[in-house]
Amino acid sequence: MDLGCGTGLELREIFKKIPDLEVTGIDLTKAMLDKLKNNFPDKNIKLICGSYFDVDFGEKTFDCAISFQTMHHFSHKRKVNLYKKVYKCLKAHGTYIECDYIAKDQCEEDYLFSEINRIRKDNNIKENEFIHFDTPCTVDNQIKMFKLAGFKEVSKVWQKDQTAIILGNF
């Protein structure tokens, strides 16, 4: 399952390694999903146009879930609730792979969340309404959220500057 799959940039490399992979891609934008389908016309891809917060993933449905550069817009609470859904949808020994922007330290994370809260308050925007404003978290906070969601083994496996890959396993 690819959360926020867009046009499938990350899938290009994955399909090189696993050409017969079955993928379920979820994205908010139909135009992006149409491009993804055109990019991989011969692949077994099920596309869902919708919010991954609202889509039912099922239970023990997927071997792996991925998310690339989409989670840095959401609060800790929304992420933990989503990570719980991801955890439930994974089969035994499943893995969740998240690559995303990270805050360099707690001060930066706190500042960005205070800014988004100020913007919401000033513009009377509810917490669950999407605003395209980056609120990355520290690696330590990301790991804590994965663990709160039920992942037993969580580790940062790669980092360059302010981008990291974190794995969550059963």
Domains and CATH numbers, the chain: 2-169 (3.40.50.150)
Q: What was the pLDDT predicted at 8?
A: 96
Distance from C-alpha of 107 to C-alpha of 112, rounded to nearest angstrom: 9
Distance from C-alpha of 72 to C-alpha of 107, rounded to nearest angstrom: 16
Q: What was the pLDDT predicted at 128?
A: 83
The per-residue pLDDT string of the chain (170 residues; one tens digit each, 9 = 90 and over) reads: 999 999 999 999 999 999 999 999 999 999 999 999 999 999 999 999 999 999 999 999 999 999 999 999 999 999 999 999 999 999 999 999 999 999 999 999 999 999 999 999 999 999 888 899 999 999 999 999 999 999 999 999 999 999 999 999 98
